[in-house]
Structure 1
């Protein structure tokens, strides 16, 4: 029987390149020597239904960074973490109640630079054992899943723009039902979709 995550595994095997919130804005000049804080996010799929589903969160509206936005479970690398993978696993336990022993790490994508000065490593993973999703009340307003078929289709992505710090900035969006997936999350998913489509 074919592995339902075979397209994801194939994408991981193909060469990639770093991405950035500035990819669609080549006229923006980034300062030399800027300091980026390392972070890790878990791009985690389960295969318990008819097709794989990706776990995402809607961040609480009172958070300092990216309030109210759709994001992967994850966060900045703390000193006790084993790098971005450790941070992604720790934060996933804290944010949605995902035990690390229920997760198989498949690999990582090249890091993504955000406008908030994080260097985010996407950690792709398979959730091999069902778990009870428990959103962390202080950080997560809602936890939900999106089918792999939605994010695997480049046609589900479009480019939008808005003014940010006095400059018009373009970014990817990949809306799903009531969820407006955009910014860094949509850019990382677009990189996955592109590599799956190759």
Structure 2
């Protein structure tokens, strides 16, 4: 799962597929500005595995419930994508694709304000058809699309990397963007 002789910590994020006003969408959070790390950034619900979590699915469901109060009984895990390292190469993040079985109204959602500043959704069709800006990810050779999804809201970094992967596999399969 990681380079040899490295002890990886594990985390999971939930990519919540949902329906908002009859529109298939993906739910996002804006991290609380109070957080020491990544405050104000767009993300998916998620966090570190706890000793009581039996697997990354359990972590993703628990973190989603803790952050945006969606009860795990209303969420169906669909699969897990290849883990991705954090920028320090000490944490492997496991993206878990999930289906939220009940209609969602992001404007009416309650959430943990110590972790989340806002919840919003973007339609799958809108995401696939949206103009994007391509940037180098982590000053490396990988190019990642960035989505501007509202005033002052840009999906970038690891969240953009995960989103691009999800969209390319489940919505618009096709050749991957070449890496330079």
Q: TM-score range by the shorter chain?
A: 0.7 to 0.9
Does the 8 Å contact 2:26/2:123 carry over to 1? yes
Superposition RMSD in Å: 2.5
Task: Write the distance in 1 (CA, Å) between the matches of 2:28 and 2:67.
Answer: 10
Number of equivalent positions: 165
Corresponding residue for residue 100 of structure 2: 127
Gaps of 5+ in 1: 1-17, 19-29
Aligned partner of 2:125 among 149, 172, 176:
149
Other structure's SS at 2:50 match: coil
TM alignment of 1:69-80, pairs within 5 A: 69-80=41-52
Q: Which protein is richer in strand relative to its size?
A: 2
Deviation beyond 4 Å, 4+ runs, structure 1: 168-171
Other structure's SS at 2:14 match: strand
Task: Write the distance in 1 (CA, Å) between the matches of 2:59 and 2:3.
Answer: 27
Does the 8 Å contact 2:21/2:103 carry over to 1? no
Corresponding residue for residue 30 of structure 2: 58
Q: Which digits, 9 at most, give the CA deviation of each residue in 1:17-40, with x for residues without a partner? A: x9xxxxxxxxxxx98644332111
Task: Write the distance in 2 (CA, Å) between the matches of 1:120 and 1:62.
Answer: 22
Q: TM-score, normalised by structure 2?
A: 0.80
Aligned partner of 2:148 among 175, 179, 190:
175
Residue 161 of structure 1: how far off its partner (Å): 5.2
Are positions 1:112 and 2:81 aligned together? no
